[in-house]
Amino acid sequence: MIEGVKHIVAVASGKGGVGKSTVTANLALAMAAEGYRVGVLDADIHGPSQARMLGVADDARPETAGEKRLKPLQAHGLQTMSMAFMVDIREPTVWRGPMVAGAFQQLLTQTVWDDLDVLFIDMPPGTGDVQLTLAQKVPVDGAVIVTTPQDIALLDARKGIEMFRKVNVPSFGVVENMSLHVCTQCGHSEPIFGEGGGEKIAQEYDTRLLGRLPLTLGIREQADGGNPTVVAEPDGEVTHTFRDMARQVAEQLGKPVDDGPEISFSE
């Protein structure tokens, strides 16, 4: 186990550009809104984005906590750690695979997580070194797979599910992002990336469709502005979708041991 962390959930995708980081940030915030102590680890070493999405300043740096230990930064009530807190994010991280895997492991194990119920790990796209390190070194409770309904994205999402199956990490479900576009001018809705793909994959791999998210300008603007939808519109329809997803993840991690304000998972 990772010290200070009860449960770990990987949020992954077979390819980039499907909104995985946006889903991770909002899902973590939704889980926190449900009463859990939540952290986010940005494992995308080459392209960390959680700092920006969670509104952490570009020059923010973590405090040290003893030799080779770091305190996570706080953002919207979440504990968070990212490569973005260590380097100038305007400069490329030109590293080979073993260096990337090593950096990920250090961020995970040398961060002083404070009594987290759930740590969400925002995985880099693909099925490479970081994914393998995660599977081999970290006790992951389950994975959430993010895809769009597009055929090519679904093809890569299958690879992500298969990868976790091969290393005995259960799939908690599929999030179908950008499933429907609603015109802000006329209200016409259209599945511009196709439809039904997430549900088809969920059935194919005997998992569940956690939810569908629309393709909207607001979700993108809020994430880019460091104020994700769950915080920006706590009573909005998209937030309700994320809250429902969070409850489904919590259900699969284990039932809360009591109904009081202090919520914890049974082991």
Task: Find the radius of gyration of the CA atoms of the chain.
Answer: 18
Letter string b/e over residues 247-262, b meaning 16 or more CB atoms within 10 A of that residue's CB: ebbbebbeebeeeeee
Boundaries of every domain in the chain? 5-253
The reported pLDDT for the residue numbered 237 is: 92
More confident residue, 208 or 258: 208
Mean of all residue pLDDT scores within the chain: 83
More confident residue, 95 or 226: 226
77-106 tens-digit pLDDT: 999 998 888 766 666 666 666 777 788 888
Give the annotated binding-site residues.
14-21
pLDDT at position 228 over 80: yes
143-183 tens-digit pLDDT: 999 988 777 777 778 888 888 888 888 999 999 988 777 77
CB 44 within 8 A of CB 21: yes
Range of lowest pLDDT (135-139, 196-200, 223-227): 196-200
45-80 tens-digit pLDDT: 777 889 899 999 888 888 888 888 999 999 999 999
pTM reported for the whole predicted model: 0.87
pLDDT at position 136 over 60: yes
Cα distance between residue 93 and residue 34, in whole Å: 36
Which ranges in 45-119 belong to alpha helices (H)? 50-53, 97-109
Q: Identify the band that residue 266 occupies on the pLDDT scale cut at 50, 70 and 90.
A: very low
- Domain 5-253 sits in CATH 3.40.50.300: yes
Cα distance between residue 120 and residue 41, in whole Å: 6
Q: Which of 265, 266, 267 is nearest to 117 (CA)?
A: 265
φ, ψ for residue 8 (rounded to 5)? -125, 130
pLDDT at position 267 over 60: no
φ, ψ for residue 5 (rounded to 5)? -130, 125
CB 210 within 8 A of CB 248: yes
pLDDT at position 263 over 60: no
CB 104 within 8 A of CB 82: no
Give the annotated binding-site residues for ATP.
14-21
Mean pLDDT of the region 17-44? 93
Which ranges in 169-236 belong to alpha helices (H)? 197-204, 217-224, 229-232
